[in-house]
Structures are given as structure tokens and as C-alpha cells.
Amino acid sequence: MASDSFPNPGAPAGLATHRPLRPAWAEVDLDALRANVHALRRVAAPASVLAVVKADAYGHGAAQVARAAVEAGAWGLGIATVDEGIELRRAGIGAPILVLGAIGPGEAAPAVAHDLRLTVAEETVAAATSRAAAAAHREARLHLKVDTGMGRLGVAPADAAALAARVAALPHVTLEGCSTHFASADEPDLASAARQLEVFRGALSALEHAGVRVALRHAANSAATLALPEARLDLVRCGLALYGVVPAPHLVGRAELRPVMRLCARVVHRKRVPPGTPIGYGHAYRTTRETTVVTIPVGYADGYPRAAGEGCTVWLRGRCAPVAGRVSMDQITVDAGDAPVALGDAVELWGAAVPVEIVARAARTIPYEVLARTARRVPRVYLDGGRVAAVRTLLGEE
């Protein structure tokens, strides 16, 4: 009989009747998500929290995560593109939504139509937004981005006040916010982040001297929210921490965070093999003893990093078992040793027992990338109150 050998109780209640067709899925714990919002609100207070749900909420599912985050008290939602914002509006989400990325003038009209706040760093997009808002008989809200050292997006600090004054003077536009972004707030040495914050404060002072006052000043990402209290200002933008992952090891313990996603699968094949058996492409792995090799139906097309095949483990039958050989597009093989593995046994590829940080380290990348690359073809099972609330598959929500 199949068993669920996880450190927590096995498959969540209701999963048997809502199980996706694939024997692989990503559990998304909405209670953990809400708990993380509460924890970040406590850390950031009196600043408000912007829950960053871009890239399909880092692979967790934007609409479901956005609803839970707002329910837990997030002021609003951060996304990267206008399309992402429209998707949330069509899902019935009415909270403030801020587009954090740059847009073109042609995107202003749909953004205004869906009441999306926009980030601007030059006058062309602001003017297009003003025209779109006038045509729609609406008021658009803009956030000015200042480049204090990231070098990616933003007006130069010396030019910020003049641009802010011109944007604030546009009809049907409110300059609601002013922001910047830290390049290295996740480093133990915060000298660079502190210099960026000083430059940003100078730009904010220049805005005030020019007669421009904004309601929302924001600079802190997850790392700065945890490590740099003076950067919290009016609003913090939390992405990775929202999903229960700290941006750097030295920040562990700064907030009570719980992992939100657990990538799971079931054993679909098992065999007993002798010592010296080659496994996988290139025969990069050979067994050193008689052992049980099992196959898991998840591969790099599902978002499990190919480079994690050497040195990473999965959780199987109450213990860690090493990935055996190279990760294939659709499958992983695992050396289960002498564990009494059965077909259908549950495996955790990352989650409570195998933190996603370990997978990222084995793949020589960062947790952001691992989570965000969890493929659309992996069904998402949403847990709420310990029970299955929804299942999202390629065919839609069940």
C-alpha cells in the first residue's frame, strides 16, 4: 500500500478525492502564507506590507496567494507587468496593485482601465498615463522610481525632484509614491545599502523642497525589511520572505517564517540492483552496493534543477535519500538503499524536510529561481486550514 512518509502527517485530508492526475504536485500552504504576512507586518510596523506576487507568486499561484495575503493584512500587491495585474483583477482581486517593472506608453491605457498603479522613471509613460486617465475619466496613481545604485531602473537622484514636479503637475495623475531598490541588502555588510538609503533620503528631501509630497516612500525588499529597520519607511516590498524563505543565512530568525511550498511526487518505479549499476545519462552515477533505485516523475521540465542531480537529496520513507545520476527532463532516480519502498510512496523534493535552499545550493543558484521555475504543468494543491481548498492544473482549477 502507498504511504506518505513525510515528517508531517501524510497526504493532507481531502487529497485522495482531489488528487491531480499526475503523481506529482506542489502543495501550497495558504495558512503558512498568512502567517508569514502577519510575521512581516509585525517586523515592519508601522510600515505597511506590499506582497510581491510577480511571476505567478514565485511559482505558487498569483491569484490564490494574493487573496490570502490581502486577507492577512497586506496593504497591496506587487507585480512585474501589466498583464500580471490584469490577471489579478480578472480573478476578482480589488486590493491596490503596483506594477514594479517598466512599461511602455502603449500599456498605459489598459493599466488605467484595470486600476493598476504604475512605476515611472521618465516623463513619456507618465504623460501617456495622464492621457489614458483623462480619456477614462479616472485618476491614475504613479510611483516614481529613483536609481540610487542598482543601475537597473530609475531616474538619477539629481533629476528626481524636477521629474517629480512635472509628473505631479499632470492632469488626472496623483504621484502617490517614490521608491528605490537595494542591490545588496542581503549581504552581511550593509554599508552599500546604507549608502543607497542615504542617497534616497536626499532625493526625498529634494522632492519636498520642490513642493512634492508623496504618501508612500518605499525602499525595503525582504532582506532590508529584516536587516535594515531604518529602510522600512512607509511600505516594505516582501517577496521571498512572503513564501517562508529567508534571503540569506545570516537573516534566519529575524522573523518567524514558514515554508509555503512543498514539491511532492510518488514513486512510479522501483528495482533492486547490484553494486556497480550505472544510472542515468552519461552513467554519472554508479551504485556502490546492492540497493533499491526508484524513479520519481519530476524533472527539469517541472522546475527541479538539472544541476541539483549531484549532491542533492529527497525525503523518502522518513529519511533523506540521494538523487542518483543526472536529472532528466521528466524524471529523477533516487538511491533508496534498503528502505522498504513501495510503488506510490510519497516523496518530498523540497519543503519541510528538504528546504528549497538546499536544492538551490546544490544547483548553484538561488531559491528565488528554483521556486519561480516550478512549471505550470505541476498541479498546485492549495491547503487552507489543513485541508485541500483547490487544485490548479493545466486544465484549470478543479
Residues 30 and 380: their CA atoms lie apart, in Å, by 12
Q: Could you say which DSSP state residue 379 is in?
A: P
Whether the CB-CB separation of 268 and 296 falls below 8 Å is answered with: yes
Does the annotation mark 58 as catalytic?
no
Residues 345 and 319: their CA atoms lie apart, in Å, by 13
Residues 151 and 146: their CA atoms lie apart, in Å, by 10
Does the annotation mark 54 as catalytic?
yes
225's grid cell: 525589511
Residues 68 and 387: their CA atoms lie apart, in Å, by 15
Backbone angles phi, psi at 149, to 5 degrees: 150, -5
The single residue of 58, 243, 271, 281 carrying the catalytic annotation is: 281
Whether the CB-CB separation of 232 and 254 falls below 8 Å is answered with: no
Q: How far is CA 178 from CA 87, 164, 201, 208, 267, in A?
A: 25, 9, 11, 12, 51
Residues forming the active site: 54, 281
